[in-house]
């Protein structure tokens, strides 16, 4: 679907989808999750529309306090993977899974000319998280205060439905925990201990990952997202999940 | 019978002759004869990984050995990485790659990052290491 067409669509949100549509969505999610080449997961939305992508209505204020979010300044990423290393170390992530990773693609920049581009991905901590909606045991939930999509490992039965529902391929089954594991913005390992940044954001040498509180007008994330001329986009806005990981360049 | 034999011989001779011309014509570009390292230089410090292509800089950008050696870069591979100041900051100050990549002679060091930076993914591809993009589970 073209971006123009997408923008014309009314955002119905995931709650009102009929079950047939929902099934189609899940099937589609399974088919394209993790496929980055060809732009299947990338859709553009201008900064003006970010709030629209966030809530579909004119927001008076952001729904959480602090409203944690991350901005990824995509063109600065060089795939050094120091973020991945820091994440693995901080959150004890096994070799077979990831909480965050880097994708690569080549974008055409001219006739027979291509340019490499890297794209960090992680859990988008959606305002309407499809993973939370499908979890049969409520093991995964949206934290009421911070908006972080969290896991209660004890409640998880490992059915992997959330993995299938996630539009961002941000979940893996942790064999040691016998539960699904995912990014929680380092809530247990750093934020709750007074750190201001996630491990990945702190480790990035190129200042790609900007982390902070979107509800605080003084924060870097707030200022970046609300720069009038800055183009900001989210991945797969058409799912209606209203993600909190934003992408921009420059 | 005789005529067809002559024809075959002629074609044979012609083929050899053409091949000969071909070889002479392109001998100059034969990689084995190049007077510069033909393999990519791969830097892994301070971040993994950055590539430098001697061939491109000599054949396409029109530089020669003196352009960089031994002023901007020591000839011995790996020296820059051991110096401890082989960083983007140094580049912005005009050291190393930044001597040309200043936005004047060549694209500036703080632009087009992924042209030189191939990342861990690129490094792993080069060395045939699996799992460059992390194991996706379904």
Q: What is the ipTM, given to two decimal places?
A: 0.71
At A58 the pLDDT is: 46
Q: Within chain A, which residues score under 70 in pLDDT?
A: 1, 11-60
**A155, HSE (Cβ side, Cα atoms, 13 Å):** 11
Q: How many domains does chain A have?
A: 1
Answer yes or no: is B112 within a domain: yes
Comparing alpha-carbon positions, the chain A residue that sits nearest to B48 is: A80
Q: Are residues B45 and B103 in the same domain?
A: yes
Answer yes or no: is B27 within a domain: yes
Q: Does B55 touch chain A (CB under 8 A)?
A: no
Answer yes or no: is B137 within a domain: no
Q: Are residues B56 and B20 in the same domain?
A: no
Q: Are residues B76 and B16 in the same domain?
A: no
Q: Are residues B80 and B121 in the same domain?
A: yes
Q: Are residues B53 and B77 in the same domain?
A: yes
Answer yes or no: is B133 within a domain: no
Of B119, B137, B138, the CB nearest to A104: B119
- Say what the pTM is: 0.75
- Here the tokens at position B104 are 């004047």
Q: Does B138 touch chain A (CB under 8 A)?
A: yes
At A160 the pLDDT is: 96
Comparing alpha-carbon positions, the chain B residue that sits nearest to A164 is: B138
CA distance A173 to chain B (A): 8
| pLDDT tens profile B112-137 | 999 999 999 999 999 988 754 444 44
CB distance A104–B137 less than 8 Å? Answer: no
Q: What is the CATH number of the domain that holds A82?
A: 3.30.70.20
CB-based contacts of B17, cutoff 8 Å, min separation 6? none
Beta strands in B18-85 (DSSP E): 41-43, 50-52
Q: What is the residue range of B70's domain?
A: 41-126
Q: Are residues B57 and B101 in the same domain?
A: yes
| pLDDT tens profile B12-32 | 666 665 565 555 444 444 555
For A165, the enclosing helix (H) or strand (E) is helix A161-165
| B31-50 residues touching A, CB cutoff 8 A | 46-48
Nearest CA-CA partner of A70 in A157, A168, A180? A168
Q: What is the CATH number of the domain that holds B117?
A: 3.90.10.10
At B17 the pLDDT is: 57
Q: How many domains does chain B have?
A: 2
Contacts of B125 in chain A (CB under 8 A): none
pLDDT band at B70 (very low <50, low <70, confident <90, very high): confident
At B25 the pLDDT is: 46
Assess whether pLDDT exceeds 60 at residue B41.
yes
DSSP state letter for A235: B
Q: Are residues B15 and B54 in the same domain?
A: no
Assess whether pLDDT exceeds 80 at residue B4.
no
Of A84, A95, A169, the CB nearest to B136: A169
**What would the mean pLDDT of B80-100 be, rounded to a whole number?**
92
Q: Are residues B49 and B107 in the same domain?
A: yes
Contact A120, A72 (CB under 8 A): yes
Q: What is the residue range of A128's domain?
A: 3-248
Answer yes or no: is B105 within a domain: yes
């Amino acid at each position: 679907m073209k971006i123009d067409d997408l923008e014309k669509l009314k955002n119905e949100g995931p709650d009102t989808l009929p079950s047939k549509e929902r099934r189609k969505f899940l099937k589609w999610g399974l088919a394209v999750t993790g496929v980055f080449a060809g732009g299947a997961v990338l859709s553009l939305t201008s900064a003006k529309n970010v709030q629209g992508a966030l809530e579909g209505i004119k927001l008076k204020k952001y729904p959480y306090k602090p409203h944690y979010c991350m901005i990824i300044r995509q063109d600065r990423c060089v795939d050094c993977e120091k973020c991945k290393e820091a994440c693995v170390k901080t959150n004890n992530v096994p070799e077979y899974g990831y909480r965050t990773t880097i994708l690569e693609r080549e974008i055409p920049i001219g006739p027979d000319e291509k340019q490499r581009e890297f794209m960090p991905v992680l859990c988008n901590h959606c305002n309407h998280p499809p993973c939370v909606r499908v979890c049969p045991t409520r093991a995964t939930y949206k934290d009421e205060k911070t908006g972080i999509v969290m896991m209660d490992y004890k409640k998880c039965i490992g059915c992997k439905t959330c993995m299938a529902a996630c539009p961002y391929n941000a979940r893996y089954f942790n064999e040691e925990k016998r539960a699904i594991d995912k990014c929680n913005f380092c809530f247990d390992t750093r934020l709750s201990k007074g750190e201001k940044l996630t491990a990945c954001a702190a480790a990035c040498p190129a200042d790609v990952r900007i982390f902070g509180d979107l509800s605080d007008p003084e924060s870097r994330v707030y200022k970046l997202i609300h720069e009038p001329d800055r183009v900001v986009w989210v991945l797969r806005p058409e799912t209606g999940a209203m993600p909190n990981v934003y992408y921009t360049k420059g | 019978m005789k005529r067809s034999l002559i024809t075959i011989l002629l074609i044979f001779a012609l083929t050899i002759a053409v091949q000969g011309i071909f070889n002479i014509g392109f001998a100059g570009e034969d990689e084995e004869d190049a007077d510069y390292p033909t393999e990519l230089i791969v830097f892994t410090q301070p971040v993994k990984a950055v590539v430098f292509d001697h061939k491109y800089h000599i054949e396409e950008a029109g530089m020669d050995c003196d352009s960089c050696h031994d002023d901007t870069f020591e000839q011995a591979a790996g020296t820059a990485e051991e110096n401890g100041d082989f960083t983007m900051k140094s580049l912005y100050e005009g050291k190393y790659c930044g001597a040309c990549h200043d936005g004047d002679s060549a694209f500036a060091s703080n632009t087009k990052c992924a042209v030189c930076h191939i990342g861990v993914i690129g490094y792993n591809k080069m060395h045939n290491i699996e799992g460059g993009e992390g194991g996706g589970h379904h």
